[in-house]
C-alpha cells in the first residue's frame, strides 16, 4: 500500500499541466552547514491561457540537495540551448509551477509495491489454504491434492520475494556501481582544490551512519567545475565516524587534491575511483538470489521430478529382494556432507550477523554505542556460536568409528528371519557399547505455512543385540525375526510406515555413531494376487 501510495504521489501532487518555459536563472550555491547543502536560485517564465507567470521552484517541496553533481547536470540540461524546456503548472493555481516532478518516486513506489506484493501473495496463499482445508473435497479418490497447488503458490510468493530482492539489489546497487567503476578507469586525472569538507550524519531507526562530504573545484578544458562526489558509492553512508573524520581532516579547505573527470561529461568527477573492500558488497545480493531462485527451482522443477516417483508399497515391489542391505550413503561420505553442510550454514549465518556486528563495532568505536542493536543481536550471536560449535562437532564425528552392517536378506515377510552382522572397518576411538535395535516408525510430512515440517513416532521397538565386549564390539552378528503382525512397508510421498535396524555405537568423548538400515517388510505370500 505504501508503495502504491508513493507511486501515485509521484505523479506530482497536482502539477499536471505541462507548458513551455524559459529559464533565466539557475544558480547553484552552497550552505555547508546544512544537511542538504546545495541550493538553487531559480527563475523561469511561462504562459498559461495567455497570461504570463514567473516561477522559482525546482520541484515540489525542494529545499536543497546533498549532491552537487545532480544539480549541475540539470543546470547543464537547462542551459544547453534547448528551446522549449517544459515546466509543470498546478492544476488549481496557474501561478504555482515547478521545473521538475520527482519521477524517481514512481520507480521506488513500484519496487515497494512489488516487494509488498510478494507478501500479499503469501498471505493470500495461506488464507486460501485455510479455506480449502475447511472445505472437504467431494472426490476423495482424486490423486491431485489441492495442498500441493497452494504450496506452490506460497513457495512462489515466499521465494519470489527473496529472488526479487536479490535482483533489485543487484540491479540498483551492484550493476550501476560496476559500470561506473569500469568507466572511471578512463577518466582524466585533473588537479582540484577543496572548497570545504564535512562529516555528514544520517539518522535512522537502525542507528547513526556517516559520510565524508568533500566539496572541490577543478578546471577542465578551460571550464570551471565543482563537485562533491567523493567515491563510486555516491552518497551512501555507513557506521563508524572516525574513518570519515580522517578523510575530512586530510581534505581541509584549500588543500590541493587530484580528481578524476569524465571527459565526455566534465560535471562528473571523483576523488577516489577505487572500490577496495566495498567491492565485496557485490556479493550482498548473492544469498538473496540463491535462496530465492533455489527455492523457486525446488518449488517448480525439483518437486515436479519428485512427484513422478509414486508412492510405493512393499507388497507390490516383488523384484526388490536383495541379499545384503547397505545404508544409502557410506558413513564417511555422509559425515563429509554433514561437515560441509554445517560449514556452509555456519558461514552463511555468521556472515550476515557479522555485518551488524561490524556496524555495532563502528558505533562503539565512535563512542556512541547502539545499545538497542547490541541487545537485539544477542540471540543471533548465540545461535551463530552454536553453529560454529556444531561445525566442530561434525568435524569430530568424521573420526568416529566406521562400521559395515550386512543382512542375509533385505526384504522380509512376517515370520521370516535374517542374520545381521556388523564389522568395524575404520575410524578411531574405543567404543564402550554397541547395540542393534529393530524399530517400526511412522513418518508424516506436512505443510506449516510456507515450510514443510516432519514428525515421527515409533510403533515397534526391539533390542536385537547389545554388547560391551571389546572383541564382539569390533565384529559380531545377531538374528532378526520379523513379528507375524508386522505391517508391510508403506512409502507414500508424505506418509510412511517403515522398518529400520539401528546400529548405535557409544564412544566416550565423541558423538555416538548412529546408522539406520531400512528393512523392506512385505505382506505374507498368501496375499500375493
Partner 1 sequence: MSEPLIQVEGDGTFLPGERVRGELSGGSAAGEIRLFWITKGRGTQEVGVEDQEAVGAAGYFELSLPPAPYTTSGTLVSIEWGLEWLDASGEVLSACEIIVSPTRQVIQLERVEPEVGTKRRFFRFAGSS
- State the residues that interact with partner 1 by CB under 8 A: 138-143, 145, 147-148, 310-311, 313-316, 393, 435, 437, 439-440, 442-447, 455-461, 463, 466, 485, 487-488, 490, 492-497, 502, 504, 506-512, 514, 522-524, 526-529
Q: Where are the beta strands (DSSP E) in 205-255?
A: 207-220, 223-227
- Residue 296 CB, nearest distance to partner 1 (Å)? 20
| Closest to 21 (Cα-Cα) out of 74, 82, 90 | 82
Nearer to partner 1, 169 or 402 (CB): 402
- Residue 249 CB, nearest distance to partner 1 (Å)? 53
- Residue 386 CB, nearest distance to partner 1 (Å)? 12
Nearer to partner 1, 235 or 443 (CB): 443
Nearer to partner 1, 32 or 449 (CB): 449
Nearer to partner 1, 395 or 487 (CB): 487
Compute the radius of gyration of the chain from its Cα atoms. Answer: 35
- Residue 524 CB, nearest distance to partner 1 (Å)? 7
The answer to whether 184 touches 309, Cβ cutoff 8 Å, is: no
Contacts of 361 (CB under 8 A, 6+ apart): 240
- Bridge-based pairing of strands 513-521 and 495-506 is antiparallel
DSSP annotation of 231: B
Contacts of 419 (CB under 8 A, 6+ apart): 407, 408, 477, 478, 479, 480
The full DSSP string for 442-509 is EEEEEEETTEEEEEEEEEEEEEEEEE--HHHHHEEEEEEE--TTPPPPEE-SSEEEEEEEEEEEE-TT
Nearer to partner 1, 35 or 146 (CB): 146
Nearer to partner 1, 291 or 507 (CB): 507
- Residue 413 CB neighbour total at 10 angstroms: 21
Nearer to partner 1, 70 or 460 (CB): 460
- Residue 152 CB, nearest distance to partner 1 (Å)? 13
Query: What grid cell was written down for 459?
Result: 510403533
**Grid cell 513422478 in the structure block, residue:** 308
- Which residue blocks in 209-253 are alpha helix, DSSP H? 241-250
Nearer to partner 1, 34 or 469 (CB): 469
- Bridge-based pairing of strands 451-467 and 417-426 is unpaired
**Grid cell 507478501 in the structure block, residue:** 119
- Residue 447 CB, nearest distance to partner 1 (Å)? 6
- Residue 393 CB, nearest distance to partner 1 (Å)? 7
DSSP annotation of 522: P
Rounded alpha-carbon distances, angstroms, from residue 299 to 84, 228, 468, 491? 54, 48, 48, 21
Instruction: Read off φ and ψ for residue 111, nearest 5 degrees.
Output: -60, -45
- Residue 314 CB, nearest distance to partner 1 (Å)? 6
Nearer to partner 1, 202 or 460 (CB): 460
- Residue 307 CB neighbour total at 10 angstroms: 11
What is d(CA 490, CA 499) in angstroms, rounded to the nearest whole number? 10
- Residue 156 CB, nearest distance to partner 1 (Å)? 18
**Grid cell 496375499 in the structure block, residue:** 527
Give strand pairing partners of 507.
none
- Residue 149 CB, nearest distance to partner 1 (Å)? 12
Amino acid at each position: 500500500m505504501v508503495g502504491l501510495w508513493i507511486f501515485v504521489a509521484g505523479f506530482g501532487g497536482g502539477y499536471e499541466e505541462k507548458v513551455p518555459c524559459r529559464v533565466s536563472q539557475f544558480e547553484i550555491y552552497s550552505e555547508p552547514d546544512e544537511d542538504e547543502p546545495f541550493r538553487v536560485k531559480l527563475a523561469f517564465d511561462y504562459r498559461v491561457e495567455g497570461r504570463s507567470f514567473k516561477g522559482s521552484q525546482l520541484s515540489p517541496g525542494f529545499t536543497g540537495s546533498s549532491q552537487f553533481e545532480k544539480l549541475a547536470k540539470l543546470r547543464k540540461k537547462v542551459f544547453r540551448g534547448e528551446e522549449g524546456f517544459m515546466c509543470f503548472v498546478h492544476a488549481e493555481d496557474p501561478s504555482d509551477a515547478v521545473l521538475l516532478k520527482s519521477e524517481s518516486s514512481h520507480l521506488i513506489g513500484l519496487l515497494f509495491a512489488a516487494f509488498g506484493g510478494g507478501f500479499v501473495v503469501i498471505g493470500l496463499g495461506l488464507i486460501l489454504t485455510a479455506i480449502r482445508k475447511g472445505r472437504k473435497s467431494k472426490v476423495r479418490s482424486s490423486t491431485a491434492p489441492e495442498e500441493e497447488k497452494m504450496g506452490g503458490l506460497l513457495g512462489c510468493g515466499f521465494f519470489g520475494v527473496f529472488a526479487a530482492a536479490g535482483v533489485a539489489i543487484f540491479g540498483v546497487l551492484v550493476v550501476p556501481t560496476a559500470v561506473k567503476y569500469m568507466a572511471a578507469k578512463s577518466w582524466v586525472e585533473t588537479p582540484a582544490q577543496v572548497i570545504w569538507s564535512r562529516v555528514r550524519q544520517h539518522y535512522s531507526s537502525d542507528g547513526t551512519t556517516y559520510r565524508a562530504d568533500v566539496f572541490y573545484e577543478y578546471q577542465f578544458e578551460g571550464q570551471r567545475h565543482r563537485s562533491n562526489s567523493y567515491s563510486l558509492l555516491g552518497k551512501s553512508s555507513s557506521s563508524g565516524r572516525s574513518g570519515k573524520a580522517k578523510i575530512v581532516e586530510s581534505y581541509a579547505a584549500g588543500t590541493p587534491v587530484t580528481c578524476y573527470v569524465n571527459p565526455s561529461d566534465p560535471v562528473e568527477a571523483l576523488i577516489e575511483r577505487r572500490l577496495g573492500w566495498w567491492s565485496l558488497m557485490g556479493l550482498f545480493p548473492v544469498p538473496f538470489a540463491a535462496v530465492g531462485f533455489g527455492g523457486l527451482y525446488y518449488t517448480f522443477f525439483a518437486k515436479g521430478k519428485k512427484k513422478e516417483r509414486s508412492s510405493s508399497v512393499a507388497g507390490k515391489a516383488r523384484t526388490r529382494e536383495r541379499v545384503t542391505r547397505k545404508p544409502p550413503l557410506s558413513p564417511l561420505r555422509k559425515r563429509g556432507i554433514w561437515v560441509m553442510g554445517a560449514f556452509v550454514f555456519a558461514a552463511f549465518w555468521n556472515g550476515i550477523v557479522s555485518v551488524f556486528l561490524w556496524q555495532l563495532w563502528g558505533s562503539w568505536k565512535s563512542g556512541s554505542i547502539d545499545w538497542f542493536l547490541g541487545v537485539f543481536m544477542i540471540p543471533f550471536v548465540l545461535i551463530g556460536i552454536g553453529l560454529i560449535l556444531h561445525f566442530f562437532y561434525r568435524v569430530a564425528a568424521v573420526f568416529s568409528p566406521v562400521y559395515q552392517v550386512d543382512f542375509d536378506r533385505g526384504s522380509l515377510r512376517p515370520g521370516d528371519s535374517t542374520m545381521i552382522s556388523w564389522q568395524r572397518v575404520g575410524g578411531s576411538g574405543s567404543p564402550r557399547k554397541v547395540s542393534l535395535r529393530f524399530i517400526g516408525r511412522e513418518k508424516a510430512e506436512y505443510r506449516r505455512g510456507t515450510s514443510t515440517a516432519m514428525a515421527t513416532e515409533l510403533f515397534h521397538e526391539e533390542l536385537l543385540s547389545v554388547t560391551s565386549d571389546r572383541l564382539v564390539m569390533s565384529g559380531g552378528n545377531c538374528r532378526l525375526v520379523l513379528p507375524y503382525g508386522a505391517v508391510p512397508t508403506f512409502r507414500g510421498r508424505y506418509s510412511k510406515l517403515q522398518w529400520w535396524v539401528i546400529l548405535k555405537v557409544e564412544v566416550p568423548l565423541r558423538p555416538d555413531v548412529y546408522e539406520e538400515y531400512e528393512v523392506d517388510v512385505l505382506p505374507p505370500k498368501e496375499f500375493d494376487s
